[in-house]
Structure 1
């Protein structure tokens, strides 16, 4: 098994990763080396998936996805040498995999590529080659051209270009869509989607913020929050005078509401008007219920919101725009399980963990899967609030 990071592994083979955080492989003038996953490898068929069916990719995969498409397009045409190093993931079925281990002594030779009916692309593998012999082997080996046209040209978004300036229009349109969904994104999500390091992201955010200001719009970057606090940095106040980012997000939701058209033509609510809204549990519940995309679920959401005191039962977060009503395991809205006792109130990211089994309730305690402990360890073992009223799951 590997004794060094996979980043160093690629570097030592004179195939440095373009971006150590997001790249799924590397390419030089003669060679393409892909990182693939052990759970997508079939030793019997001698094939490994190099691109899953396109709809399986989450938006955050876009940077690595664009680069993978460039690599596959080169291999599809033939004429170069293709190889893959197969890694085992710490966990599968999660939005972003991490490498548990890989073999650093051998790589598989890619003889050719082929597409499947489900839209995925697989590599047809030959034998293996010792890592020490790879550079010399690549001078002799040629991956055969695949049959037909490269099947996923339309999938590349073009956002993995080097200059952040070329990404600003796409970033703006993406954030406008986030506003229309009355949602928000985290710094990490933006960096992952557009292939930016943090300091470059801050520069891009400044450009987008000033563009909003010059257009007379609410500051669009108020939609980008810290994943733990769900609040913007102090820079929003320092650079744009926005002292309450939650208020600014509500102004963005109103400005970019779908009913206004793409120009956000409806007058933006004044800050003072929003700040003067009643803050009672009932009024916050009304705000919360209006966010739901399925109108028939509004009554359920409001009931759960009130039953849980307007707070996430795990984190205590009480910002309506950051909360969701989650059906308890075994309680399905399609079966009519829409009473307050059928759900709990969770912060959006915690709701996602709960639905995927990475967050569970044991007795009165919250339990986190080991794969998310690094980022969510603060919630491991916390006592669930309002447990008796809201968390009695069906057997």
Structure 2
């Protein structure tokens, strides 16, 4: 591999639209896709390589290249194009995003046709290997056959985020922000720019548009969940544009409005003004230094139950708290105000899945990582961290969780 793969594409007259996120390129009726050698197979003499997995096979950061790949594959499925693939080898299959170790730079494979496999993956059936020096002449006469029936991939993958116009990305940004609100999370400005391929000024315009949409609909300003990576605070723009003095308080409103659980002030980086005392609530008793372990647990359960949540969530939270013995199953934290009941992946409170077996108790920051797929609990109960968060949470990599329902975790991990 004498040169970068982006230079390889460019030298063929097929420049990548973006060298960071593009997985292929098109020029006229010629289309070249990058595929992975570990997704290549040979069955009864037929060579295939995966060109698109199911939506669950991708992570949030893949969306930009994924959207472009969907559009390219639509064209290949329709037939009548000269479609090829270049095969690359990944450095480490377990690390995301994937990095190219090497690629075959002496030629490309013809894509004879696309087909949907029984496992839900879209595969390219490969034909001849074409030496690089012959590719241009070959593309003059070669055409990929049309697929059988309508394009079978999930249209949800066609998000529109690979456009250059930030206005067309706003619906996808809004959907992501609402999802983050539901997990009481935040995004950094850099994460949003990288996710949607925006530079600073288009990002500012997009956030302004989203904020004004919220103001017009009398909603919390959803852009309050976008913060600076170091300060964990919003830029001054949210004050100047929308008059929001307390960005942390605005985030709490977003979490409550879009279905998340309000975050206790004790666990946030910025204190939230205390609410007025509720005259109907009995005064909290002072903790007793000599309390027995049983009484201490009940006191902590009471503190946990007093965190205000949606009515339909209260019973679920307390059931999970008791099932997990009042401790985060990953870190062991037993501070009630710092803990949250997290639904297992694939379980949803709106569908009535609110028993103790449907959730786990996690420290708030770990709950956010879990909901966003950055922390995974495997079938054996061990923690697997995304490479992007290991710098700060590395001590938890491979840790064995302490949970009474490992079978439920295994079932969740398999979904």
TM-score, reference length from structure 2: 0.67
Q: Structure 2 matches for 1:1-395, cutoff 5 A?
A: 2-44=1-43, 45-92=46-93, 96-152=97-153, 154-155=155-156, 156-176=158-178, 178-179=180-181, 181=182, 183-187=184-188, 190-191=192-193, 194-225=196-227, 231-257=233-259, 275-277=273-275, 285-286=304-305, 290=309, 297-299=316-318, 302=321, 313=331, 345=363, 346-348=365-367, 350-351=369-370, 352-355=373-376, 372=387, 376-381=390-395
The alignment partner of 1:46 has SS state of strand
How far the C-alpha of 1:18 sits from its partner, in A, is 1.5
The alignment partner of 2:309 has SS state of helix
Change (3 A) 1:38 1:284: farther
Change (3 A) 1:235 1:92: farther
Alignment RMSD (CA, Å): 4.8
- Aligned partners of 2:405 and 2:213: how far apart in 1? 51
Change (3 A) 1:277 1:106: farther
- Aligned partners of 1:306 and 1:243: how far apart in 2? 39
How far the C-alpha of 1:112 sits from its partner, in A, is 1.6
- Aligned partners of 2:154 and 2:187: how far apart in 1? 29
Question: Contact 2:159–2:172 (CA<8 Å) still a contact in 1?
Answer: no
Question: Contact 1:368–1:376 (CA<8 Å) still a contact in 2?
Answer: no
Change (3 A) 1:220 1:66: same
Change (3 A) 1:117 1:379: closer
Structure 2 gap segments, 5+ residues each:
261-271, 278-283, 285-299, 345-352, 407-415
Change (3 A) 1:7 1:238: farther
- Aligned partners of 2:18 and 2:213: how far apart in 1? 28
**Paired positions, count:** 357
| Bigger mean CA deviation after superposition, 234-243 or 143-152 | 234-243
- Aligned partners of 2:146 and 2:343: how far apart in 1? 49
Change (3 A) 1:242 1:92: farther
Give the structure 2 partner of residue 267 of structure 1: none
TM-score, reference length from structure 1: 0.70
Question: Contact 1:32–1:82 (CA<8 Å) still a contact in 2?
Answer: yes
Deviations 1:281-333 (A, max 9, x none): 9898457683899665412655699966x9x9599x99959x66699xxxxxx
Deviations 1:266-290 (A, max 9, x none): xxxxxxxx62238999898457683
- Aligned partners of 1:302 and 1:277: how far apart in 2? 24
The alignment partner of 1:49 has SS state of strand
Question: Contact 1:288–1:301 (CA<8 Å) still a contact in 2?
Answer: no
Question: Contact 2:114–2:124 (CA<8 Å) still a contact in 1?
Answer: yes
The alignment partner of 2:77 has SS state of helix
Structure 1 gap segments, 5+ residues each:
259-273, 328-333, 362-366
Deviations 1:56-100 (A, max 9, x none): 344543332222122112212222211112223344466643333
- Aligned partners of 2:192 and 2:337: how far apart in 1? 22
Change (3 A) 1:38 1:300: farther
How far the C-alpha of 1:120 sits from its partner, in A, is 2.6
